[in-house]
Amino acid sequence: MSEYLPGLAGVPATKSNISNIDGEKGILSYRGYPIEELAKNSTFEETCLLLLDGRLPTAAELSDFDEQLRDNRQVKYHIRNLMKTLPESGHPMEMLQTAVACLGMFYPGNECLTGADSCQDLDYIHNMTVKIIARMGTFVAMWEHIRNGYDPILPRHDLPYAENFLYMLNGKEPDPLLARIMDVCLILHAEHTINASTFSVLVNGSTLASPMSVIAAAIAALSGPLHGGANQKVLEMLKEIGTPDRAAAYVDKKLANKEVIWGMGHREYKTKDPRAKILQGLMAEFMADRGGNLNPMFEVAKEVEKVCEDRLAKKGVYANVDFYSGLLYSEMGIPADQFTAIFAIARSAGWLAHWREQLSDNRIFRPTQMYTGEPVRKYVPINKR
**Which residues does residue 108 pair with via DSSP β-bridges, in sequence order?**
none
Q: Where do the domains of the chain lie? A: 14-225+341-360, 230-331
Q: Are 318 and 272 in contact (CB under 8 A)?
A: yes
List, in order, residues 6 or more apart from 193 with CB less than 8 Å away: 16, 18, 19, 20, 21, 268
Residues 66 and 278: their CA atoms lie apart, in Å, by: 25
How many CB atoms sit inside 10 A of residue 301's CB?
26
- In CATH, the number for domain 230-331 is 1.10.230.10
Could you tell me whether strands 19-22 and 33-34 are parallel, antiparallel, or unpaired per DSSP bridges?
Answer: unpaired
What is the CA angle 35-37-40, rounded to 5? 105
What are 333-381's pLDDT values in tens digits? 899 999 999 999 999 999 999 999 999 989 999 998 889 999 999 999 9
Q: Residue 295: what pLDDT?
A: 76
The pLDDT of residue 32: 97
The one catalytic residue among 322, 337, 354, 361: 322
Distance between CA 160 and CA 346 in Å, rounded?
Answer: 14
189 is a catalytic site residue: no
Strand partners, 319: 264
The enclosing H or E element of 21 equals strand 19-22
d(CA 279, CA 39): 10
List Cβ<8 Å contacts ≥24 apart for 377-380.
Answer: none
Report helix, strand or coil for 74. Answer: coil
CA angle 161, 167, 172 (to 5 degrees): 150
Full pLDDT tens readout for the chain, 385 residues: 568 888 888 888 899 999 999 999 999 999 999 999 999 999 999 999 999 999 999 999 999 999 999 999 999 999 999 999 999 999 999 999 999 999 988 876 666 676 655 567 788 889 999 999 999 999 999 999 999 999 999 999 999 999 999 999 999 999 999 999 999 999 999 999 999 999 999 999 999 999 999 999 999 999 988 787 788 888 899 999 999 999 999 999 999 999 989 989 888 888 899 999 999 899 889 888 888 776 788 889 989 999 999 999 899 899 888 888 888 898 888 999 999 999 999 999 999 999 999 999 899 999 988 899 999 999 999 999 9
Set 91, 192, 266, 354: catalytic member: 266
Spatial distance between the Cα atoms of 34 and 225, rounded to a whole number of angstroms: 27
pLDDT at residue 148 in the model: 96
Domain 14-225+341-360 has CATH 1.10.580.10: yes
The answer to whether 158 and 147 are in contact (CB under 8 A) is no
Burial status of residue 132 (CB atoms within 10 A of its CB: 0-12, 13-18, 19 or more): buried
The verdict on whether 227 is a catalytic residue reads: no
Say what the pTM is.
0.92
Q: What is the largest CA-CA distance in the chain?
A: 80
- Which DSSP string do the residues of 212-225 spell out, in sequence order? HHHHHHHHHHHTST
**Sign of CA pseudo-dihedral 330, 334, 339, 344:** negative
In the DSSP assignment, the letter for residue 343 is H
